[in-house]
């Protein structure tokens, strides 16, 4: 039910504030919701997991993941107040109880999280630098605490830059075409860093 409510809410808000490119609103489920849920194809977050969504914009990937994992806590952060206000409104309207919203720069946060997620907001190494001290030490999920980035294109240089920052990191890169057959996903990838 919550997923079904998203289209009308985003379509309505998008007419007031440009959250999603106007030509993309009709493919909201494919290009934004399904894209966000690619993380859930790879990782099933256990109850009590805390996740930070950096540069969430109108709530991606945070809101779809919060619907999918109601027993986890999601903090959605963006420096653009009007976008966070929309994400918060949508979250309230569909009845999510596991989301917090932060207007501001991610570097100003003081909390710790099990995972950091982001969708094509900034280069991976930049987000890693901003959030490397935010990763929680206690681990109880099937995969190590770390970062999930939804990206497109050739990531060789970007991932090399992360390795130069910390040689101990492991990086896994998965093509989303492994899970989704739509043309949109042909160049899209999920990057898991831990």
Q: Considering its fold, how many domains does the chain have in total?
A: 1
Neighbouring C-alpha atoms within 13 Å toward the C-beta of 35: 24
The range of the structural domain enclosing residue 51 comes to 2-193
pLDDT digits (tens, 9 = 90+) for 49-71: 999 999 999 999 999 999 999 99
* Average pLDDT in the chain: 96
The CATH number given to whatever domain includes residue 173 is 3.40.50.150
Q: Kindly report the pTM of this predicted structure.
A: 0.96
């Amino acid at each position: 039910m919550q997923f079904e409510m998203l289209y009308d809410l985003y379509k309505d808000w998008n007419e007031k504030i440009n959250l999603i490119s106007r030509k993309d609103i009709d493919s909201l489920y494919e290009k934004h919701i399904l894209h966000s849920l690619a993380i859930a194809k790879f990782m099933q977050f256990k109850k009590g997991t805390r996740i930070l969504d950096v540069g969430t914009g109108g709530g991606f990937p945070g809101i779809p993941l919060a619907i999918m994992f109601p027993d986890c806590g999601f903090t959605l952060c963006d420096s653009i107040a009007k976008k966070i206000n929309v994400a918060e409104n949508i979250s309230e309207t569909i009845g999510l109880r596991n989301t917090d919203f932060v207007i501001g720069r991610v570097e100003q946060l003081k909390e710790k999280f099990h995972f950091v997620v982001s969708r094509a907001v900034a280069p991976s190494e930049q987000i890693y630098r901003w959030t490397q001290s935010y990763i929680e030490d206690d681990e109880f999920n099937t995969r190590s605490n770390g970062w999930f980035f939804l990206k497109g294109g050739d990531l060789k240089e970007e991932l090399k830059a992360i390795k130069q920052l910390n040689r101990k990191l492991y990086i896994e890169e998965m093509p989303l075409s492994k899970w989704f057959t739509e043309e949109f996903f042909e160049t899209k990838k999920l990057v898991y860093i831990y």
